[in-house]
Chain A
Amino acid sequence: MDRELLIEIGCEEIPASWLPGLTRQLATHLDARLKDARLDTDAPAESYSTPRRLTARVAKLAERQNDHEELVTGPPVSAAFKPEGEPTPAATGFAKKYGVEVGALERHETPKGIYLAYRVRQRGKATVDVLADVTGGLLRDLTFPKQMRWDAYLEDGKGDLVFARPIRWLILLYGGRVVPFVIRRNENAQGPLVQDIRSGSNTYGHRFLTTSGRAGRAIKVKMFDDYQARLLENFVILYRGERESKIRRELETHARRLGGRVSGLVAAQSSLLQEVPDLVEYPSVIAGHFPVEFLQLPEEVLTTTMIHHQHYFPVVDEENRLKPAFLAVTNMQAEKPEIIARNNERVLTARLRDARFFWDADRKATLESRIERLSTILFHKKLGSYRDKADRVSSLAEWIAREAFGKSEAAAAAGVAGRLAKADQATDMVREFTELQGTMGGIYAREEGQPEPVWKAIYFHYLPVGVEADAPPTRQQLGSAAVTWAAVSLADKIDSVAGMFAAGERPTGSRDPLGLRRQAQGAVKILADLPELTGITTRIELWDLMTRALSAWTVPEDAQQALRAFMRERVMYLFEQRGFDVRNIRAVVPQSLDRFDMVEAKKKLEALAQMSRSEALRGVATLFKRVKNITKDVAAPPGSDASLLKEPAEVALASTLRQAAPDIEAAARRADYKDAFQRIATLQPSVAKFFDDVLVMAEDAQLRAARLALVARLRDLILDIADISEIVTET
């Protein structure tokens, strides 16, 4: 008969941001462990969590393991017996390993011959006898962003049991009965105050809330249904979804009572709403106010203080203006919530008073006057201070505006904005509110009377963060600063990326502490959307920009190669995120990034997306691989005598190419890639016929050269637009 398995790992408070991942891990690993142990279930494991517990439940788990049968093969029969029939040592050794006579072994036929074999039969054990191993394995399986040692180990010979936070209790119930399991404590810690953790049937409710008796006392449970019901009675909402909807409901009610709604910035700029359900076991929302006078501070300062520092929800009116009020999620259902509200108000007010102090003090000096102080703030030990970076970004931004964008009228402003972009790092406000770097610099520049192309370029220079076409900032937000912003933001990002590669820092696997991937794809995103954002339509080669940035240092060739590969990855990532077929992406993004322009590539991808079902284009694409292979060592034509071509198919191809080439090249020049690909598709019959009828590698050297030249011309004509052999590859 199937019975319920219930596991609860009672912990000290687990970091909120880890809980969603840990909850998933718990179910996945438990399922894997049960499968491994040959224990049948009729549905996957369910898992739940609160800050103080990780819970898993399997509604129906078989009472016994499945029996296990396995045929183990030994030596081949040919090597198992001596000519006179005596078993060889190989045979006796194999039999001995399984504790049987050679005569008891089976003969097993395989394509390679007949082998001695032994049939291992294991009868399934009772589930209760296997669950301790399953649990031990499960505890070992869980991984954490940062693990801690807490003087605990398991009796599995693998030493210390690291975990997220110390485990304080453990429920392990099968069919309502406790399965014995123990987490041991290291000898040098163990004593009256530090004890082994033994599995039991007790859970614990909310630390402080209770309807009767003492909060935090042990609660005996048997099955999941009464477990979650008893928890709820004791002010623990096990289901995350219910905690979240209680929070949303109460936020809405309170905001309405204040005559407004929760600011949209909470969802747009933070993961606060996703995080709070994992910070509490029994959420309730309180409302507080702050003195109206603080509304004179920049809105960004107010919202950052509330959202990022205090985890509060700002409230806005119908016109989206901040109200002097906030909402906070507490882990309490206090008799007098106004006490908690008042205390939170005091904390916020103190922070805002600090902010106002910084706001007043910072504005007494200009950003320009702060640049010298940047020399005391390290950017990177091999790349110097932020002072050095400011100089590089300034001249790079100026160059981009003038040379790459062809907007010399914007170059001066881009240079100024580039120079001032990091100056806010030397302000008190940014030292205290690091999230506001850039934003604050922009605000201070505006306050000093810098024109919009300068202050907005600073304000938005950390953006974009996302790669979507509509990721902020929008053209409307940028106003007259679009060109300078693009120049400064690009300069800052490619300086960081190129610099870090020059300094030997490269992101590896999941490690990217300097955020280079985000910075690189931010740069690529600006280039991809440059016409829409700024109206600039000139051709801009990505690698030209990188080369310019790299020229600040001497960079070894291998680092440059690594940087090309890295940038190509970010380019491909952006296009993939925008839904393009990865084969088409490979076709239009060359390995070398030579002569590569983002906008051009985007247009080619749009054209390919429309053309990808064209059988003719796919036909050319299929043959194109041969075209490339056969001409691997052939440089660009001309250089051979076309008059040598005699075969009808080669003459036909040569004449088709002669006619089609100017139109294809013209279409590409107009950036009408759909037309270009359509024209390439019309080459299909001639190309196919050529490869069917003509032996390119003719014995006659001159003829061979003439044919190769013809194929190379075809290659270069197409390769100039895209390596279409990629579009028909398997993914």
Chain B
Amino acid sequence: MTLQDLILKLSAFWASHGCLLQQPLDLEVGAGTSHPETLLRVLGPKPWSVAYVQPSRRPDDGRFGQNPNRVFKHHQFQVILKPSPDEVQQLYLESLETCGINPRQHDIRFEEDNWESPTLGAWGIGWQVMLDGMEITQFTYFQQVGGIDLAPISCEITYGLERIAMFLQRVDNIFDLEWGGGVKYGEVRLQEEVEESKYAFGQVNMPPEEFAAAHRDLFDRNYALGEKMLDSGLIWPALEFCLKCSHLFNILDSSGSIGVTERTAYILRVRQLAVKIARTYVDATTPAAMSEG
């Protein structure tokens, strides 16, 4: 099964179980959780079920296209079910069957793995799903986002698309995956991986101090705009600027541009903004949702 067939199968499966098919967030993020379709929608009482692919950037994982398993950017298939249905594990296992993974021939296990994001004031309880010793999915019952207790509880299912495709195609190098129609993953992404890795580690024609200064400046400006948006009651734009800050911080970190104390301070700033955004969203949407109910 090609990578794109896998996306089609999962999309069709979750659409048939009541999920809206959303599109990726058009910003640089580290995980599908940052998408407002997760981060904001899990707040408040309104039911919401959604699925989408999210290209996810982890600057620190960049390996110049030389590591067969690790990349600057990978793809997640993200499912949010709010509230979480009683049969959610069963549904998940059926989705694997749809993709051609027969649970009777493999060893599939739910092993404890909780999720926490200090920058988002968020945490959840759950498992990593192991398929014959390989982690293929993160399965989380969100408990808090932006420091706010969630009710109802949402279930987040995050499939690692490349991992699953490598398993299905029996290839050991991510760049040998078939993306679709005979085209290899490497053809689509190798050049991008090499260049993004160079960028992430600051290997550019620019003195390191200048590289760092430029990114700090970008961070500060985006941060200021994020606060302005929030002042204007614009939650989505505020979140977007907050996410840009989060990514810029990751680049500052991977390129070794910040020291320890500063690092903590940056994390704290992003967290403060994210928490404020979450609270504003809850305040803005909860009364409306209640009057609807």
Contact = CB atoms under 8 A, between A and B. Distances in A.
Given A186-B151, A385-B260, A339 B105 contact: yes
Nearest to A188: B45
B67 interface: yes
Contact of A13 (B90, B110, B151): B110
Contact of B134 (A215, A280, A343, A377): A343
A336 B105 contact: yes
Interface stretch (A114-122, A348-356, A402-410): A348-356
Given A13-B127, A381-B261, A343 B69 contact: no
B141 A339 contact: no
Contacts of A376: 256, 258-260, 263
A151 interface: yes
Contacts of A340: 105-107, 132
Greatest chain A CB density within 10 A among B109, B143, B264 is at B109
Given A340-B132, A343-B134, A350 B86 contact: no
Interface in A4-27: 12-13, 15-17
A51 B112 CA distance: 11
Contact of B106 (A12, A343, A353): A343
* Residue of B127, B134, B293 with highest tally of chain A CB at under 10 A: B134
Contact of B133 (A343, A353, A377): A343
A207 interface: yes
Contacts of A332: 106-107
Given A148-B141, A354-B67, A377 B93 contact: no
Given A15-B112, A378-B264, A328 B151 contact: no
Contacts of B111: 13, 16, 279
A63 to B, nearest CB: 34
A208 B149 contact: no
B39 interface: no
A384 B261 CA distance: 8
B93 A207 contact: yes
B26 interface: no
Contacts of B151: 149, 151, 186, 188-189
Nearest to B262: A376
B123 to A, nearest CB: 10
A354 B114 contact: no
Contacts of A357: 67
A343 B132 contact: yes
Interface in A636-682: none
A215 B104 contact: yes
> Interface residue tally of chain A, by bracket?
35 or more
A193 interface: yes
A188 B141 contact: no
A215 B105 CA distance: 13
Contacts of B134: 343, 346-347
Interface residues of B, number: 48
A186 B152 contact: yes
Given A310-B133, A335-B105, A347-B134, A149 B153 contact: yes
B186 interface: no
Contacts of A279: 109, 111
Contacts of B84: 150-151, 166, 189, 194
A193 B153 contact: no
A344 interface: yes
Interface string B112-127: 1010000000000101
Identify which of A51, A188, A328, A332 gathers the most chain B CB atoms within 10 Å of its CB.
A188
A347 B152 contact: no
Contacts of A586: none
B233 interface: no
A195 B85 CA distance: 9
A607 B108 CA distance: 59
A310 B109 CA distance: 13
Interface string B152-166: 110000000000000
Given A150-B153, A378-B263, A193 B68 contact: no
Contacts of B167: 343
Contact of B110 (A12, A146, A208, A348): A12
Interface string A25-45: 000000000000000000000
B67 A334 contact: no
B89 A12 contact: yes
Given A148-B125, A150-B141, A191-B83, A344 B152 contact: no
A347 B132 contact: yes
B69 A350 contact: yes
A151 B104 contact: no
A330 interface: yes
A350 B103 CA distance: 23
A659 B258 CA distance: 71
Nearest to A385: B260
Given A332-B107, A336-B105, A188 B112 contact: no
Nearest to A336: B105
B131 interface: yes
B69 A334 contact: no
A151 B235 CA distance: 27
B107 A375 contact: no
Contacts of B131: 343
A3 interface: no
B87 interface: yes
A207 B93 CA distance: 10
Interface string A487-503: 00000000000000000
Nearest to B93: A207
Interface in B136-179: 141, 143, 149-153, 167, 172
A149 B106 contact: no
A418 B109 CA distance: 43
A146 B114 contact: yes
A151 B88 CA distance: 14
Contact of B152 (A188, A312, A346, A349): A188
Nearest to B253: A376
A321 interface: no
A350 B106 contact: no
A149 B83 contact: no
Contacts of B264: 378, 381
Interface string A530-565: 000000000000000000000000000000000000
A377 B260 CA distance: 6
Given A148-B143, A347-B132, A376-B263, A189 B153 contact: yes
A280 to B, nearest CB: 8
Residue in B105, B149, B261, B264 with the greatest tally of chain A CB atoms within 10 Å = B105
Interface centre among B141, B152, B261 (most CB of A within 10 A): B152
Contacts of A348: 133
Contacts of A346: 134, 172
Contacts of B150: 149
A169 B25 CA distance: 38
Contacts of B68: 350, 353
Nearest to A312: B133
Contacts of B108: 207-208
A248 interface: no
Contact of B172 (A17, A350, A381): A350
Given A151-B83, A378-B263, 4 more contacts: A16-B112, A165-B125, A344-B133, A378-B260
30 contacts: A13-B110, A15-B112, A146-B114, A148-B141, A148-B153, A149-B150, A165-B125, A166-B141, A186-B151, A188-B293, A193-B85, A194-B83, A194-B86, A279-B111, A280-B109, A328-B133, A334-B106, A334-B107, A340-B107, A343-B134, A343-B167, A346-B172, A347-B133, A349-B172, A376-B258, A376-B263, A377-B260, A378-B263, A378-B264, A385-B260
Interface of A: 12-13, 15-17, 51, 146, 148-151, 165-166, 168, 186, 188-189, 191, 193-195, 207-209, 215-216, 279-280, 310, 312, 328, 330-332, 334-336, 339-340, 343-344, 346-350, 353-354, 357, 373, 375-378, 381, 384-385
Q: Which 10 A-B pairs have the closest CB atoms?
A: A343-B132, A15-B112, A193-B85, A189-B152, A189-B83, A13-B110, A330-B107, A344-B133, A378-B260, A148-B125
